[in-house]
Amino acid sequence: MTTTELPILFLNDLVVLPGMVVPVELDHAARAAIDAARAHSDDTLLVAPRLNDRYASYGVVASIVQLGRLQNGDPAAVLKADRRVRIGSGVSGPGTALWIEAEELDPTFETDEIRELAEEYRHLLVATLQRRDAWQVIDTVNKVTDPSGLADLAGYASWLSDEQKRELLETPYVADRLRVLVEWVKNHLAETEVNDKIADDVREGMEKSQREFLLRQQLNAIRKELGEDEPEGAEDYRGRVEAADLPDEVRKAALREVGKLERASDQSPESGWIRTWLDTVLDLPWSTKTDDSTDIAGARAVLDADHHGLEDVKDRIVEYLAVRARRSQRGLELVGGRGSGAVMVLAGPPGVGKTSLGESVARALGRKFVRVALGGVRDEAEIRGHRRTYVGALPGRIVRAISEAGSMNPVVLLDEIDKVGSDYRGDPSSALLEVLDPAQNHTFRDHYLEVDLDLSDVLFLATANVVENIPQPLLDRMELVTLDGYTETDKVAIAREYLLPRQLERAALTADEVQVDDEALREIAADYTHEPGVRQLERLLAKALRKATTRLAQQGEQEGDQEGDGGSARTPLVITKANLREFLGRPRFTPEAHERTSVPGVATGLAVTGMGGDTLFIEASVLPATEGHGGGLTLTGQLGDVMKESAHIALSYVRAHAAQLGITDPSVLDRPIHVHVPAGAVPKDGPSAGVTMVTALTSMATGRPVRGEVGMTGEVTLNGRVLPIGGLKQKLLAAQRAGLTTVFVPQRNAPDLDEVPSEVTDAVEVVLTTDVATLVTAALEPVAAATQVADAA
């Protein structure tokens, strides 16, 4: 066996067979091979395809026909392939080209079998070329007498892939090549005949003005050639249902619908409804579940990294995860059973991180996350879906959320569940009763699906601003976790760790360019915002950074004008408490309790609204007696019925216990009295302002102002008992923000103090009380101080 040493040229997108003449674009490696061939091997070189996983075993010896340039100006060479050789090992050679030892192949002797295969292939090849009207190529094929050369003409065939051509190149025996080619050309001819027949069938019934009709006829012709006699799409749906991993009952229901589709006419509207229903059922992830993370410490780390504080929520999530992990370890996982899900409602004012907490929970558990916005939803069908008899019917939002998540155990966040309404279309909150009951939702039935859907492994999280707006039966099915807002220290930490980096990125700034110190952050949280959350704080940070960006741009222009004078590295722009007004203007909120209570008849109460805790000033004033008119009580400030009753109870108590309260002239209480709660545009209701009203009325009657640093909350009875109230943590947070240092709260609310941050209890003295008279005595200014105030007035 003879060998020849030749430079080799590897081609990426071209397979060259013997007898082919091809142009080759010259890159660096190709230029090196061409130069080596011209200089050292009589213009001959070895050409082989470049493979991904190995070196080619065979190549062709080619000669350089011409050197020139392509139309785009790139250098190129025209190569003519001569003979097939086996690629041996690499050898050293001159120049930078790669040299290979090429082994000549043994000559092939023509046999009867080879001649028969060559004639069969020639016949099939001519038939294929006739379909393409390539008559000149047919003449060339008929002139080729060498069976090997005839087989290698396949290098020009456009219907063969590069992989097939590489297989021909690496098939040295002519008989084997011809057998493979005969099989390939037969398949190609059969495919071409089917396509031509489909085109003919379509062309016969086509109307030029209807493109849709053309597409339908093509589809019908394809099914006709495949021997499918079933109605359009029915066989496809039956196969999809049988192949899908569906629960037994769902599979039976789906096969029933497939049977209806097979019997229905193509023009029947019912066919479209059935297809839509089947698509919906098949798109649901009936058997897909994600694996819960069992790393308790890792889950807590994710929650801590995403949110500051919120310890109750984090503890509850970690507890849930720990229980799930232990049940899994002990083989107690419930599949389609009762009570294997969990439902929590995160209640609190806006901006404390309720919605974003859902995504963190999903990350901590390793589950998919999907959010369902319920604000303003008034149609029960939004939850349970529409009956299929309606045009445009769809499944409910719960089913769509499961489909969107792609698993049967996602974290589903029901956002703003307290804002669900009801009208003539039904009550969506009632439809949620089954969804959110862990003892029932393993057989949830959507009106559109009409099959049982197991929601027991779904972790439902709901968010709400006002718990009282959630229907009691729905609230009873959920575990309430309250987020009462952040302290000033919490806000500074959140701003430093989360808000400031995010706003720096949005303003295209870095910490080396603009810095905000902690004192400035504390000033913004205390005097520029009055909220339990941090949304307004983030807006103000964004405003300050926008102004800082503008200032930096102006400084850059000035430095550009002075370029060439030399200078040092630019120092960062620091926003401090001293220059904060330059970026945000004057503070919006200042403590006003001392000013408002400096006159008798005004007391500071504490209230809870949908926006969190707030201070509530109650003013009482006595009017001059008019002839013919006795005493009366006038109430203003858009008060609710419960708050109006509290005012009447407070007045009755003060009249009945005037002496005990230190009122020396009880007749003042028989004159017309006006009680007003400012911010009259805001509706107010609830019993917790009872003690504040008693204090305001007593202050008015005695002429002793209420101490400016005192706030109070509590419901009062006719005999002066102070009853417990709700939202104590939010009220104490509001008291701290307002600058109050003493707050009177009911004795029975003492257990709620465990939830109040130590920062608040250190700043605010909490006085527990059971008797309103004791509270009033402690809240009013001493007699001597009251006299000095009156003299000053």
Whether residue 352 is annotated as binding a ligand: the answer is yes
Whose CA is closest to 283, among 48, 509, 449?
449
> Are 713 and 731 spatial neighbours (Cβ–Cβ below 8 Å)?
yes
d(CA 345, CA 480): 5
Q: Give how far Cα 454 sits from Cα of 442, 477, 697, Å.
A: 4, 17, 59
Rounded distance between C-alpha atoms, residue 496 and residue 493, angstroms: 5
591 is in an annotated binding site: no
371 token code pair = 């959010």
Q: From the CB of residue 149, how many other CB atoms can be counted at a distance below 10 Å?
A: 14
Helix axes 269-283, 397-405, angle to 10 degrees: 50
The reply, when asked if residue 355 is annotated as ligand binding, is: yes
CA distance 687 to 607: 10
Q: Is 424 helix (H, G, I), strand (E, B) or coil?
A: coil
What is the spatial distance between Cα 292 and Cα 320, in angstroms, rounded to a whole number?
Answer: 11
In angstroms, the CA 112 to CA 344 distance is: 84
With b for 16 or more beta-carbon neighbours within 10 A and e for fewer, the 247-280 pattern comes to: eeebbebbeebbeebbebeeeeeebebbbebbeb
Q: Is 644 annotated as a binding residue?
A: no
Residue 688 known to be catalytic: yes
Cα gap 490→492, rounded to integer Å? 5
Q: Residue 504 corresponds to which tokens in the numbers above?
A: 């720096």
Q: Which of 148, 688, 699, 729 is catalytic?
A: 688
Query: Would residue 646 show up in a list of annotated catalytic residues for this protein?
Result: no
Q: Give the distance, in angstroms, between the CA of residue 558 and the centroid of all CA atoms in the same chain.
A: 44
In terms of DSSP H, where are the helices of 75-229? 112-131, 135-143, 147-152, 162-169, 174-205, 211-226
Instruction: Name the one residue in this structure whose structure tokens are 């700043």.
Output: 763
Closest CA to 341 of 222, 474, 460, 169: 460
350 is in an annotated binding site: yes
Q: Does residue 354 have a known ligand-binding role?
A: yes
Query: Has 353 been labeled as part of a binding site?
Result: yes
- Feature table: binding site: 348-355
Binding site for ATP: which residues?
A: 348-355
Question: What positions carry a catalytic annotation?
Answer: 688, 731
